[in-house]
Chain A
Amino acid sequence: MLYDELRALARRLMESEREGHTLTPTALVHEAYLRLSRERRIGVEDRGEFFAVAATAMRRILVESARRRRRVKRGGEAERVPLEAAEELEALDGWLSDREAEEILAIDAALDRLGEVTPRARRVVELRVFAGLTLDETAAALAVNEKTVRRDWLLARAWLRREIGGGELAAE
């Protein structure tokens, strides 16, 4: 399952990380794609499909990682993630800043409301925010034109800013 593979890959990459190089979620997704295609487990034609699935998996990983941080910060609530996964998530603690972690949780909570009225905009946010795709990559993954993606993104971005931006989150 891609979720497990991405998480395990993230941990391996973090461990072998060289000085001065930070592994980002975007880099992780692209690295995973390269590896799977090198192993010929996916073909070029599956690229869009891969990123669509990867975005969902990354959403889960980032949300769990952000929750973990919050728990650790607040002095520990019972651990609900399986032990092995917890260790891997621990390796990712440095991924997000505190503010980003809070935003990820807020976006996760708000996103389904957006999806009710405009499902495609929700997919665009997942692909861009969680998998780090550019507009043209997003357009390719969703098999729609770039103009449409831009329009969805501008709307979703403004909506998310209004819903969760500023407000209770103090500036850094």
Chain B
Amino acid sequence: MDRERWQRIEALFADLADRPAGERAQRLAAAALPAEEARGVAELLAAHDGEGRLAVEGRLRDDLPGAFVAGGRLGPYELVERIAVGGMGEVWLAERDEAGYRRRVAVKRIRRGLESEELLARFRVERQALARLAHRSIARLLDGGVDAEGVPYLVLEHVAGRPVSEACDAARLPLARRLELFEEICRAVAYAHANLVVHRDLKPSNIFLTEAGEVRLLDFGIAKILDPESAETSQPRTRTRQALATPEYASPEQVAGGVVTTATDVHALGALLYELATGRRPFAEHESSSLALARAIAEVEPPRASEAAARAAEPERAARAAARRTTPRELARALAGDFDTILATALAKEPARRYPSVERLAEDVARFRAGHTIRARPDSLAYRFRKLVGRHRAAAAALLLALVALLAAGVETARQSAIAARERDAARRERDAAREVTEFLVSLFEADPYAERGRTRDATTLGEFLAASEEAVRTELTDRPALRARLLTLLGRLHANLGRHDPAVTLAGEAVAALRALPGAAPRDLAESLNILATALQERGDFDAAEPLFREALALRVAELGELHEESAESVNNLAVVLSLRGREADQDEVERLLRRGLELRRRLSGEDHLDTAQSVNNLAVFYYQRRSPGDLELAERHLREALAIRERQLGLEHPWIANSRSNLGNVLLDLGRAGAAEPLFREAIRVWTATLGAEHPRVSSGLWGLSRALEARGDLAGALEAARRSAAIDAATLADAHPHRADAAERIAALEASLATAGAAGSGRSAP
């Protein structure tokens, strides 16, 4: 190609591409190019308009035309420069001519290629939310429309300023002034709440301080409009997780995918207040990954603001204090006590424990600033107990459920006796039963030497907690045999959850013996103890001992509760599992019958999308996996994916059961010859089990076993051997010598060592000249 001719074509094309047809023709004629060049330009313009469009263009994420560019126009606005790009949209500074002056505005719209139903819906919500808000501290909606491509955009007041935390530091504002600004922010948020709008994404970058020193709330992009009729619960739960934009300032309910209310904004304001006061975000030390951060938000108490101010590393510590015109020591002193209580209340994990409204938070901040007594109270002892339990996540659900069940059982007993006794009497016994259990558990907490001060509380382990509990149960409750047996069963269950089967067997066995000897013991209690005992025996590999206990529990439950009951369905499932694990050919028909029956019961009791149903689906898959009739592996894969999908929907981020599903799926894929797909499933399962159950848990061993097989199948013998050894080490610590896994592991390690030796010899042979 001739370079000069090409440059003329190129320049004219660039000039004409964005113009309407009439104007193009005029200008093309006016340019008076030689005919051949004019034809070249016309051809390029035709191609530009879409002629000969290529298939590969469909892969581009910002396919032109219509993408925003500097100098482009959108209705009456000329785009000047892009101010921000977010996950969903971009914001541009734009100008419009208005009676002789250029008015600056912010234009916001969805990024090209990202418009989905959900984003468009969210955009409508933002517009709707802003349309009902007219407040001097909230950036105003000026206009809106759709561009040539049909993508909607919003035109907003342009706020010249910077994020509030940054602006406060730059101006070296002292604490008192920061608190005043915070109260102003609270008033704007309270105004939005009064108009039924929840912001859901409050953070410094969405709250500007203008050059005139005024605050402005920006970006209602993931706001929610509350429905005054049916309250917050009318919103679908899933939306929360998708709408979670900024994990650093997210609330526990957003992380968990729970229901979002005005309390969510209270939490975000608490995080903002923390940062304004200390210069540090509440969960700063957990920000290495979004997963770690999400977990911290759900479970960890942030350091007190006073400690954060006092203990930060130098030179940050001094710099942060200097930005507040004070010293680290003075700042820590100012924040200790009432201010820590305000933050603890605003940042409470449970929405119901936070300030009931943004106004109340602002009031307490104002009282604190004025030196008056605040309204919020430090946590009660009972509440701190629940937090202690809450930190031990693997066992927490079981413990809390058991606690509720104990209370309910006490109430039930009292209610039954009320038939015979006076009502007043019954009410007293109900109260006594509830109080007795609560006080007992609270006393365990008080006896815990580490729990006194917040900072060392993580040194206490669940193991110590359980040992202390056990001793207390044995020494304190000798005169209440039924309650004692229930608590021993509960402790057995917690040990079993942690993979400690020996103490579980001892405790549950003791409970079974006590209940059998106790006249008038509830059959349901005995069934529960039998169930825990049998589960622990099964986990230890003692299937013959476990089987009759599971059968007895099943019979007791069916007789007491009927077959269509969750506990009966659980027993049907458990019996099937132990028979399946024992692996006798003669039992297999009964196993399949029980598993199908269990699945049917659970579908009827709980529906398709329920964790119990997922467990039954999973177990049926494991059965097919072991049976290996033609087509069984494919059937197993399908069932396992179904169980995994239910668990991912129901359990959220990471959970040992999701890991079970992955590991099982890994084994099936491995046997289907898909080792490459199996390996990451095992690794993920091991990671989650280690994080939730501990590195020494038997589940970790089974994951390592699978990983070892997968690596071997892929030819990584050294990796396979290492995984097998780690698996065997866990087995040695947790399983009886007679457990079949022990022999399997020894055999596998020997075989891998042999193969590796052979491969090594062959390898050195090959490399010889």
Contact = CB atoms under 8 A, between A and B. Distances in A.
Nearest to A113: B1
A157 B57 contact: yes
A161 B51 contact: yes
B428 interface: no
Nearest to A132: B59
Interface string B26-62: 0000000000000000011111100111111101111
A26 B47 CA distance: 25
Contacts of B676: 12, 15-16
B15 to A, nearest CB: 10
A161 B59 contact: no
Max chain A CB contacts within 10 Å: which of B60, B641, B677?
A: B60
B17 A154 contact: yes
A76 interface: no
B69 A146 contact: yes
Contacts of A74: none
B123 interface: no
Contacts of B82: 136
Interface of A: 12, 15-17, 19, 24-26, 97, 99-100, 103-104, 107, 113, 116-118, 128-129, 132, 134-136, 145-147, 150-151, 153-155, 157-162, 164-167, 172
21 contacts: A16-B680, A25-B59, A100-B55, A103-B54, A103-B55, A104-B56, A113-B1, A117-B1, A135-B64, A135-B67, A136-B82, A146-B70, A151-B14, A154-B14, A154-B64, A158-B44, A158-B47, A161-B47, A162-B44, A166-B51, A172-B55
A107 B54 CA distance: 10
Contacts of A134: 60-62
In order of increasing CB-CB distance, the 6 nearest A-B pairs are A165-B52, A15-B676, A161-B47, A161-B52, A166-B52, A158-B47
Q: Is the interface of A mostly helix, strand, loop or mixed?
A: helix
B657 interface: no
A161 B53 contact: yes
A160 B54 contact: yes
Given A117-B6, A150-B64, A159-B44, A99 B55 contact: yes
Contact of A162 (B1, B52, B64, B680): B52
Interface string B5-30: 01100100110010000000000000
Contacts of B85: 136
B126 interface: no
Given A24-B59, A117-B1, A147-B70, A158 B13 contact: yes
A136 B85 CA distance: 11
Nearest to B5: A117
Contact of B44 (A116, A155, A164): A155
Given A118-B10, A155-B10, A160-B54, A26 B69 contact: no
Q: Which of A12, A113, A162 has the most chain B CB atoms closer than 10 A to its own CB?
A: A162
Contacts of B59: 24-26, 132
Contacts of B43: 162
B70 A100 contact: no
A113 to B, nearest CB: 7
Contact of A153 (B7, B55, B64, B677): B64
A113 B3 CA distance: 11
Interface string B177-204: 0000000000000000000000000000
A146 B53 CA distance: 23
A136 B676 CA distance: 36
A19 B645 CA distance: 12
A147 B82 CA distance: 12
Nearest to A99: B55
B71 interface: yes
A150 B674 CA distance: 45
B528 interface: no
Contacts of A99: 55
A158 B51 CA distance: 9
Contacts of B53: 161, 165
Nearest to A18: B677
Given A26-B59, A132-B60, A151-B14, A165 B54 contact: yes
B679 interface: yes
A12 B1 CA distance: 43
A25 B10 CA distance: 30
B56 A103 contact: yes
B45 to A, nearest CB: 7
A15 B55 CA distance: 26
B54 A97 contact: no
A150 B45 contact: no
A164 B71 CA distance: 31
B60 A128 contact: yes
A161 B54 contact: yes
B19 to A, nearest CB: 13
Contacts of A147: 69-71
Contacts of A113: 1
A121 B680 CA distance: 41
A165 B47 contact: yes
Contacts of B52: 161-162, 164-167
A24 B54 CA distance: 17
